[in-house]
């Protein structure tokens, strides 16, 4: 087999592993570092740069999202469609909110003459695990 075929197969496998690693923990929103550690369980020699490039590609293909939670570190999101988040101030855990802004809020904005194109609400607090531990 030609070397380029092997290279393509490796690249496809790395991309698939990166996607599986983002989706692995349910509604967890991992950083590139966390994804890299998971991918290395299968491919111990993969570099963070490669994982990062794969994540960028998955985002631009719309297969994963980036959680807009105002954190300096990019948190990748297994759910690519727009949704809102709850962030624990103690442990940094990010959970998806079941519902977006209320219809009343959107109506009020429209009445005021604004056009709503997307939303990224972040609710902050302390998660149950952190409350139980204190």
Binding mask 48-67 for Zn ion (x = CB under 5 A): -------------------x
CA pair distance 126, 25, nearest whole angstrom = 20
> How far apart, in Å, are the Cα atoms of 113 and each of 1, 109, 118?
62, 7, 16
**Helices assigned H by DSSP within the chain:** 3-24, 32-42, 48-60, 103-111, 128-133
Region from 5-13, 68-76, 93-101, 109-117 binding Zn ion, contact rule CB under 5 A: 93-101
Interactions with Zn ion, residue window 10-29 (CB under 5 A): none
Judged by CB under 5 A, the stretch of 35-43, 49-57, 68-76, 85-93 that binds Zn ion is 85-93
Q: Which of 96, 100, 101, 106 binds Zn ion (CB under 5 A)?
A: 96
Contact residues: Zn ion, CB under 5 A: 67, 77, 88, 90-91, 93, 96, 127, 130
């Amino acid at each position: 087999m030609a070397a380029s075929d092997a290279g393509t197969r490796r690249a496809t496998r790395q991309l698939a592993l990166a996607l599986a690693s983002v989706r692995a923990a349910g509604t967890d929103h991992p950083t590139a570092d966390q994804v890299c550690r998971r991918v290395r369980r299968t491919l111990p020699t993969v570099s963070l740069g490669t994982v990062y490039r794969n994540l960028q590609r998955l985002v631009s293909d719309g297969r994963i999202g980036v959680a807009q939670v105002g954190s300096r570190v990019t948190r990748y999101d297994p759910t690519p469609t727009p949704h809102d988040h709850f962030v624990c101030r103690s442990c940094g855990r990010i959970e998806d909110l079941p519902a977006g802004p209320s219809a009343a809020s959107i109506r009020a904005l429209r009445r005021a003459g604004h056009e709503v194109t997307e939303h990224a609400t972040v609710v902050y607090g302390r998660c149950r695990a952190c409350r139980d531990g204190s």
